[in-house]
Amino acid sequence: MTQSELSIDLLEKCISEIRIWMAKNFLKLNDDKTEYILFGSQQQLEKIPSRRVSIGNFCTKNTTQVGNLGVILDSNMTMTAHISKITSASSYHLRNIRGIRKYLNRAAAEQLVHAFVSSRLDMSCGDEKNPWWYAQLDSSKPISKVVIYNREDCCGERLIGAEIRVGDDNKSPFNENAQCGATLTSAMIGSNPIEVICNKPIKGKYISVRLPGKKCLTLCEVEIYESVLVTHFVGAKQSSTRGAGGDANRAIDGNTNSIFNQNSCSHTAGESDKNPWWYADLGTPKPISKIVLYNRQDCCADRLIDAQVRVGNTSKSPFTDNVPCGSTVTSTMIESNPIEIVCNKPITGKYITVYLPGTKILTICEVEVYAGIW
């Protein structure tokens, strides 16, 4: 066996070991897309007979040039094909810039040329189909917001079409994970950083960014914000209190017991109380993403119908200066206990208020407040 034949055999064994390692790590080598190339001078290459290399169930013969991360490598390492490709593409774009130069001031023209040069230097772009990125947390957490810092030197538009997902699946295209917020649009990338707010907190271990199509994905920084249960309150107040019990602080005592006689539910004075209300004081403003109401289960669950939950910095009824969180409580919503009220987006405020229009009784067994860690 000649030295060149021995080298080919060693190459096949090496590829086989790589395939085994990739399979063990849930990766796959695309046999039919794998190429191999021999580098050397023209005289050296002429001495080596052409031979096919086995890659899995596929055989390929050596090629004279290959592409890697946007760079075209030829067997003689002259880089002629790569230089030709770059100069041809650059000439095309420079002609386009020349066509609009008269409409640009000097600063804008310099910025455009700088962006053009930077994009030419970024060789890996456009070679990968459906590029993706993900971050792994130490455990599943309720995520309420993801902030992405985009490039500012050029290429900000590359993020258009990106999807942010949260869940426990780390396999592209991450379809098992729930999407957080909207797919990135040209309007959204107009600001930096880009805030992507989940419609409701999504529990997951993996936060992924996926860009459909044959594109380049580049991220400068990703910030992930968790939604956590607030456990400290300054206190709670309500419009009136039933004489035989029903203090406002019962609704934030950490006890979710929904039987009034178990001394864990708040209760206003009676049906003569007009527009009853209840609020909790967080002490300092916090970004609130979700509020959970535990309703009575021994009776009277329908009393919470039409209740309005708001978040803000005023403690004055009817709390119209505060922002509504989610929708008004309906007859359908009280069929579940507890009642989850998800804010359309996080609302920053010091007071969590529950307001019930009309002459009614307001009774709440527990209120859980979820805030984002910004």
Examine residue 127 and state whether it is found in any structural domain, yes or no.
no
Long-range contacts of 176-182 (CB under 8 A, 24+ apart): 177/202, 177/204, 177/206, 177/208, 178/202, 178/204, 180/143, 180/145, 180/146, 180/207, 181/146
pLDDT of 127 higher than 70? no
pLDDT of 123 higher than 70? no
The CATH number covering residue 257 comes to 2.60.120.260
Parent domain of 107? 80-121
Q: Give 132's pLDDT tier (boundaries 50, 70, 90).
A: very high
Q: Which is more confident, 185 or 173?
A: 185
pLDDT of 321 higher than 60? yes
CA atoms within 13 A on the CB side of 149: 6
Amino acid 281: pLDDT = 97
Examine residue 54 and state whether it is found in any structural domain, yes or no.
yes
The DSSP annotation for 32-62 comes to GG---B--S-HHHHHTSPP-EEEETTEEEE-
Residue type for 355, please?
A: Y
Contacting residues for 30 by C-beta, under 8 A, at least 6 apart: none
Q: Is 90 found in the same domain as 56?
A: no
pLDDT of 233 higher than 60? yes
Q: Is 363 found in the same domain as 282?
A: yes
3-class DSSP state of 102: helix
Radius of gyration of the chain (CA): 31
Which of 66-70, 117-121, 238-242, 356-360 is predicted least confidently?
117-121
Q: Which is more confident, 62 or 136?
A: 136
* Domain termination residue (choose one: 196, 228, 260): 228
Q: Is 293 found in the same domain as 208?
A: no
Q: Is 253 found in the same domain as 193?
A: no
User: Which helix or strand (DSSP H or E) is residue 312 part of?
Assistant: strand 308-312
User: Which helix or strand (DSSP H or E) is residue 218 part of?
Assistant: none
Average pLDDT, the chain: 87
Amino acid 258: pLDDT = 95
Amino acid 149: pLDDT = 95
* Domain termination residue (choose one: 186, 210, 228): 228
Instruction: Give the residue from 196, 168, 165, 169 showing the smallest Cα distance to 178.
Output: 165
Q: Is 240 found in the same domain as 363?
A: yes
Amino acid 155: pLDDT = 82
Q: Is 204 found in the same domain as 248?
A: no
Number of domains observed in the structure of the chain: 4
Tokens of 299: 């009776």
User: Which helix or strand (DSSP H or E) is residue 139 part of?
Assistant: strand 132-149
Q: Is 210 found in the same domain as 93?
A: no
For residues 365 and 296, the answer to whether their CB atoms sit within 8 Å is yes
* Three-state helix/strand/coil letters over 145-163: EEEEECCCCCCHHHHCCCE
Angle of CA points 81, 87, 92, to nearest 5°: 130
Q: Is 342 found in the same domain as 251?
A: yes
Q: Give 324's pLDDT tier (boundaries 50, 70, 90).
A: very high
Mean pLDDT of all residues in 301-330? 95
pLDDT of 121 higher than 70? no
Q: Which alpha helices (DSSP H) does the chain contain, by range?
A: 3-24, 42-46, 80-100, 106-121
pLDDT of 124 higher than 60? no
Mean pLDDT of all residues in 66-82? 83
Q: Give 243's pLDDT tier (boundaries 50, 70, 90).
A: confident
Amino acid 160: pLDDT = 94
Q: Which is more confident, 317 or 62?
A: 317
Q: Is 268 found in the same domain as 212?
A: no
Amino acid 99: pLDDT = 87
Q: Is 260 found in the same domain as 368?
A: yes
Examine residue 340 and state whether it is found in any structural domain, yes or no.
yes
Q: Is 292 found in the same domain as 192?
A: no
109, 115, 120, 124: CA torsion to nearest 10: -170
Amino acid 374: pLDDT = 45
Amino acid 67: pLDDT = 79
Instruction: Give the residue from 224, 228, 25, 27 showing the smallest Cα distance to 137.
Output: 224
Q: Is 167 found in the same domain as 247?
A: no
Mean pLDDT of all residues in 89-96? 82
Which of 107-111, 178-182, 207-211, 363-367 is predicted least confidently?
107-111
Examine residue 213 and state whether it is found in any structural domain, yes or no.
yes
Q: Residue 209, Cα to own-chain centre: how many angstroms?
A: 6
Query: What tens digit of pLDDT does each residue of 38-48 get?
Result: 888 888 888 77
> Could you say which DSSP state residue 75 is in?
T
pLDDT of 126 higher than 60? no
